[in-house]
Amino acid sequence: MGILRSGNATPTQITKYSGLQIQTTSSAVPVPIAWGRNILSPNVIWYNHFLALPQYSGGKGGGKGGGGSRQARGFDYRCAIIMALCEGPILQIGNIWTSSPTPTNLAALGLSLFTGTTPQAPWAWASAFYPSEALGYPGVAYVCNPIYDLGPAASVGDNNFEVCGFLSGSGVNGLDCDPAQLIYDFLTNSQYGVGFPAASIDASSLYANAGDSSYQTYCWAAGIAFSPVLNMKESAASILSRWLQLTNSTVVWSGGVLKFIPLGDSAITAIGKTWTPNLTVLYALTDEDFLHSEGEDPIKITRSDPYAGYNQQSVEIQSRSDSYNTGPVTAFDQSAIDRFGLRAGPTITAHEICDVAVGQRAAQLILQRGLYIRNTYEFRLSAEFCLLDPMDLVSMTDPLLGLNATVVRITDIEEADDGTLSVTAEEFPQGVATSVAYPVQAKSNGVPAADVTANSVNTPLIIEPPPSLSGGSTQLWIGASAQGADPNWGGCIVWASLDGTSYEEVSSIAVPARQGVLSASLAAYAGSAPDNANTLAVDLTQSGGTLDSTNSAAAAAGVTLCYVDGEYLSYTTSTLTAANKYNLTSLYRGLGGSTPGAYAIGVGFCLLDSAILKYDVPNADIGQTIYLKFQSVNVFGGTAQDLSSCTAYPYQIQGTGVLGPVTSALALGTAMDYGLASQAVAQTDDFGTVSAPVVSIIDLGICTS
């Protein structure tokens, strides 16, 4: 069949699907709502025009010696499909992650985007071929394709779309959305919002204003931005509470409006924005102001156990820098851990955070608030203090409790029927409600990028070993390594052609060969082994290879077999002289019948170890010229080079490693009678030209035997 050959196909049972294969289905899946830039999975809402395309193997040779019969190996499926994404209108779609580790995009998948406007025209293709089923889906962003590739499994697969949703890019980092605009849209939007009246929101506390104490200014200065995706059932109160906790803020109902109050206690300046906290103490309370009954303390203090406080806090985010994989960002207080032991708090799920820096700030602020605000105060006041609101600051003085103008923050006020106020407050240790932004390592699951492209190969080694190394058959020994010793290189696919045009995959190389060049000249040698007079100096920088020493017996047996410009030799001692540079000594020269020659600086060198591909070639191909291409892949076996960009390396097969019938018989010690000299020749061997090197030596014994 030649060097480009294919084996006989084994008949297999082939399943043919008649429709899209899905695991679950539901007609009541909610339409997700997406703000900022995050990922979500699509939902198939319509498909038709299902096609099963038979796939064959063989039947298309790669030049002379190729070919093979066509064998059915399965089906590839297509269909027209619509996949809903979320509420629209959205801005655009970024990366798309499918079953492949390499992200792709809409164009590569042949998908068209409908952003979800209202109204929205139906898909033109569906209107033309299935007019009764063509719907506009107003307000729903979706993607569609008339011939979507379902692969051999007839399924959509695991798809995740990076959606640039509402308010995308409005946040401080230019990617996520501004929390102030997010909350207002969430509460008031008439299409998908809660339905909260806009007039009941205190806009001056929510949006930036001249006072510089608003929630929006705080988020800008603190570097906080979100990208939420709401795709499951959850109460609006729970969602809002989580967002406020992550932004170190709260809301109070006062004067008939909802006020947003950041809990920060120190001024913050960033990106040209300065947030200044309101630290005004409204009242200085003393014993004369507290109401109490006979036998009761005017102030009740509750102090939490420091051993019960959490000194490590984790927030689980979806890191954009790690393809939106989930993982924790952790903050901890080492001094508290040293004093009280490690106390890890429950992990807070915050998949609306996609920026590691935002996750660090949120985790740090939650940690500090829970760890350092420990005292709670309860007291009663008269109706004259009715203007107090939650989050207001007051000071308290009580000599018996050791309180001397101690500032506290009111957290709750309840008014009794007689007008008296029951107040709950917390201590206000200024400085703990502000965190220092420090760099953190980006969250990663330990998986390197799978879409990286590997470098092309260095000029490969292509040789035919002598019979003593090939075992008497025609073999090609091939070694390849990546240019620049690329660490992303995961091997290469070897393609062969007999005409230089049509190529067929014949093998693969998984380990880089230890290739290099001579860094000093090597003299010829005619003495007995080993050659202790000369040093073989090599530079393996191009492949990043290393060389180890061995013992004399192993070197003599060819364990460290090397190839230098036609000579096979081995070495005993390897001495590192610089990075990837070695001096090889105690050489065994002229192995395999080769001639120990003299070689100049720059001549190629390669270690003939297990990294070398040993490819058997039929004797019928001797004399033919083949063309080899080496298609690099990365360490994941993906992102292969474009084959058309790979260099073709021609090589004429010599048959150097073949033993003829006479030589083979003599090598086995078989007695041979060649008949009379006058008879016709029945068997011949070609031992080459007189000037060619001896590649195989057979001991015929002594003349008297």
Highest mean pLDDT: which range of 19-23, 85-89, 451-455: 85-89
Which pLDDT score, from 0 to 100, does residue 12 have? 56
pLDDT surpasses 50 at 8: no
Distance CA 161, CA 229 (A): 12
**C-alpha separations of 593 from 214, 467, 609, 643, 661 in Å:** 87, 9, 19, 38, 19
Distance CA 45, CA 114 (A): 14
Query: Is 233 in contact with 220 (CB distance < 8 Å)?
Result: no
Region of residue 286 (phi > 0: left; psi between -120 and 50: alpha; otherwise: beta): beta
Which pLDDT score, from 0 to 100, does residue 294 have? 83
Residue with tokens 């590739």: 149
Distance CA 306, CA 83 (A): 53
pLDDT surpasses 70 at 11: no
pLDDT band at residue 677 under the 50/70/90 scheme: low
pLDDT surpasses 90 at 20: no
Give the pLDDT confidence of 538-570 residue by residue, as tens digits. Answer: 999 999 999 999 999 999 999 999 999 999 999
Query: Is 203 in contact with 72 (CB distance < 8 Å)?
Result: no
**Mean pLDDT along residues 480-495:** 94
What does the block give as tokens for 9? 């196909």
**Containing H/E element for 139?**
none
Which pLDDT score, from 0 to 100, does residue 103 have? 85
Which pLDDT score, from 0 to 100, does residue 322 have? 87
Burial per residue of 202-236, b for 16 or more beta-carbon CB atoms within 10 angstroms, e otherwise = beebbbbeeeebbbbbbbbbbbbbbbbbbbeeeee
Q: Which residue has the higher pLDDT, 684 or 332?
A: 332
- Could you tell me the pTM of the whole model? 0.66
What does the block give as tokens for 93? 């779609």
pLDDT surpasses 70 at 702: no
Which pLDDT score, from 0 to 100, does residue 61 have? 40
DSSP secondary structure string, 319-344? EGGGTTEEEEEEEE-HHHHHHH---B
**Mean pLDDT along residues 51-60:** 69
pLDDT surpasses 60 at 645: yes
Query: Is 73 in contact with 110 (CB distance < 8 Å)?
Result: no
Give the pLDDT confidence of 233-285 residue by residue, as tens digits. Answer: 899 999 999 999 999 999 999 889 999 999 999 999 988 889 999 999 999 99
Query: Is 630 in contact with 500 (CB distance < 8 Å)?
Result: no
**Mean pLDDT along residues 39-61:** 80
Which pLDDT score, from 0 to 100, does residue 29 have? 78
Give the pLDDT confidence of 123-138 residue by residue, as tens digits. Answer: 999 999 999 999 999 9
Give the pLDDT confidence of 138-191 residue by residue, as tens digits. Answer: 999 999 999 999 888 888 888 899 999 999 999 999 999 999 999 999 999 999
Which pLDDT score, from 0 to 100, does residue 537 have? 97
